Amino acid sequence: MSSPPVTIKTPLNQFRIEEFIALTPFGELYRASDERTNRPVALTVLPKAIAENPETLRGYEANSVRFQNLSHPNLNKLLGLQKTPTQAFLLEEWIDGPSLKTIQSRGRLNESEAVFLAKSICAGLEALHKQNRLHAHLAPELIRLNQRGEVIVCGLAGSRAIQSIAETRYSKYPALYTAPEQLRGEALTTAADIYSLAVILYELISGHWINGKSAPKTSDAIRKTHLDLPPPAPAALNPSLPDHFSRMIVWALRKNPDERLKTTIEFSSALALAAHTPLDQVPLRVKPETAPVLAGALGDWEFLPPPKATAVSTDTIPLEERLAGIANPSNKRKQSIGFVPILLLVVLAGFVSLFFFIRPAEEIPLPTPILFTPFAADSTAPPPPSPTPRPTLTNGGRIVFTCTRGDYNQLCMVNRDGTDFVQLTDVAASNYYPVFTPDAISILFASNRAGPNFDFFILNFVEREIFQLTINIGNVISPDFSPDGRMIVFANKAGDTPTSIWMMNADGLNARRVYTGTGNIVSVAWSPDGEKIAYAMNTGTPQEYEIFTMDTSGRNHLKISQGLQGIGGSVDFSPQR
């Protein structure tokens, strides 16, 4: 193995390298920390041959977008591809737990443990295959157990289309788990993933590679074994294995892909049957009574402590005091009940005296100055008030809005019946575009409190602090959450291009431009079914906009307004689909 190309504590963009983990088929894997949130991430530094290959990088970037909406309990979340002037690296969620490479050193697995792994891994692969994608890079370093004892398959960035031709290998990782047809440069099917998984399981249950010994050191010897040499039966190396179970593993290692089982579900079902265990009775998490080696590895793992978020707000009045009334509004009313009778008598007496001795003064309206702070987007004339209010959901108990205080716009909140008004922010900066997170425990908003540009921030009611979500990606405006709460769409002015449509994960990672139009885009909204984005874009006339929709991929644009005059810069979908 070559020495790692980066050293511990090295910063790569906003990520700080913490620990070298392993060499993988993609490059060197590290555990890193996101300096904005202190949360760990899995960071893979790509080899130079990949980092300088635009076609391969485009494939990785396409997979980052492709799998944003793919959610499966056995597949790791791909966060995206980032670059520095000298490096390119992949980001995934960090799975805190042992990899199958770590587990290999703890002793051989029994057939029940192998079936447990096969069921979870095959379920994740099946979800990929239904998307017409192959993993194509399975390795024990890319399969991990999380703290709950669930099996997670990592490395989705290198997935390939089914029936695609295998690409040239760039990583220094040996081809120990590569299917014969992949080495021959043939079109790949789901049988390639089944072969790779069978090699991994063979090692775990027998204690040896598929040559019945230690893995060869040279690529030629590895290639010859895959292409020409039949593997010894695992039961010959581990006599405790059932013979039929051993035969199922060997079946999956046949050189001709047409002779293997056709789907991963068939493979896991065949293994369960051979182990005399109904597949539906195989647990989804590690249990010590059926998986002693896996349970031991989890028990010995030193899990990371929960990350401590970094607060960035410096409001004049502590946020805890501002939110105290929200957390316990009923206490104030209870404390004032005892004084009601006395206060009532005083008020009545005062009212009577005023009626006889004081004449009401003539009311003179005083003008209230309203000061606005310039922000990232072009100023937009406010749309005329609508005579029909938008329907309010029954659980919509609070309303958040901007409120002008002196030279700045702050955030304020009130109950929908007008009670319990509270000013949430009070800083020498402006705050715009507040929206509740789908779980209703936080507010996302744009502010220039951290510098000249507008970034996104999260005000969390539980932590009672404000956290920065983006750092200098441009001037951001008009955020909206996807219906499942996992993504945020927004408009952003970055560089010399017009204000464009961007997306990012709900945690602020993987911010990327989705669409740049001919003019500035000033507002975006996500449809309730999650399939469309509506946006308002200037088409040449100052303060005039057209309304469009597009797919979430940034394609299939449709003009909705069709030249209607006087359109303002705000859009939203009705709650109905």
DSSP string across 240-298? TS-HHHHHHHHHHT-SSGGGS-SSHHHHHHHHHHHTT--GGGS-SS--TTT-HHHHHHH
d(CA 193, CA 216): 22
The CATH 2.120.10.30 portion of the chain extends over 398-559
- pLDDT score for 320: 63
- pLDDT score for 342: 54
The CATH 3.30.200.20 portion of the chain extends over 11-93
Query: What would the mean pLDDT of 211-215 be, rounded to a whole number?
Result: 96
Spatial contact of 140 and 101, defined as CB atoms under 8 Å apart: yes
Tell whether the model's pLDDT for residue 372 goes beyond 80. no
Which stretch of 78-92, 173-187, 271-285 has the lowest confidence by average pLDDT? 78-92
Select from 254, 173, 242 the least CA-distant residue to 210: 254
d(CA 431, CA 450): 11
- pLDDT score for 308: 65
- Secondary structure letter of residue 157 according to DSSP: G
* Region label for 207, one of left (φ > 0), alpha (ψ between -120 and 50) or beta (otherwise): left
HSE-up (13 A, CA, CB side) for residue 168: 6
The CATH architecture of the domain made up of 100-300 is Orthogonal Bundle (1.10)
Instruction: Return contacts of 315-318, CB within 8 angstroms, 24+ apart.
Output: 315/425, 315/426, 315/427, 315/466, 316/426, 316/427, 317/426
The CATH 1.10.510.10 portion of the chain extends over 100-300
- Per residue in 262-302, pLDDT (tens digit) is 899 999 999 999 999 999 999 999 999 999 999 999 999 99
Residue 237: other Cβ atoms inside 10 A = 18
Mean pLDDT comparison of 151-155, 279-283, 502-506, 514-518, highest-scoring range: 151-155
- Per residue in 157-175, pLDDT (tens digit) is 999 999 988 766 667 899 9
Q: Tell if the pTM clears 0.75, that is, is over it.
A: no
Query: What would the mean pLDDT of 221-233 be, rounded to a whole number?
Result: 97
**Structure tokens belonging to residue 1:** 């193995």
Select from 419, 468, 428 the least CA-distant residue to 446: 468
3-state secondary structure of 161: strand
Q: First-to-last CA distance in the chain?
A: 54
Q: Which residue has the tokens 């005000």?
A: 459
- pLDDT score for 496: 81
Spatial contact of 549 and 559, defined as CB atoms under 8 Å apart: no
- pLDDT score for 420: 87
Residues 520, 521, 524: CA angle, nearest 5 degrees = 175
- Per residue in 111-136, pLDDT (tens digit) is 999 999 999 999 999 999 999 999 99
d(CA 353, CA 356): 5
Tell whether the model's pLDDT for residue 544 goes beyond 80. yes
User: To the nearest whole number, what is the mean pLDDT of the chain?
Assistant: 84
For the chain, give the percent of residues with pLDDT over 90: 56
pLDDT bucket at 37, cuts 50 / 70 / 90: confident
**Tell me, which fold does domain 398-559 have in CATH?**
Neuraminidase (2.120.10)
Query: What would the mean pLDDT of 90-105 be, rounded to a whole number?
Result: 96
For the chain, give the percent of residues with pLDDT over 70: 82
Residue type, 123: A
SS3 of 355-381: the string is: HHHCCCCCCCCCCCCCCCCCCCCCCCC
Q: In what order do the strands lie in the sheet with 532-538?
A: 521-526, 532-538, 545-551, 558-559
CATH node for 11-93: 3.30.200.20
- pLDDT score for 376: 38
Radius of gyration of the chain (CA): 30
- Per residue in 313-358, pLDDT (tens digit) is 455 566 666 666 555 544 444 444 454 455 555 555 555 454 444 4
Beta-carbon contacts of residue 495 (< 8 Å; ≥ 6 apart): 474
Spatial contact of 421 and 326, defined as CB atoms under 8 Å apart: no
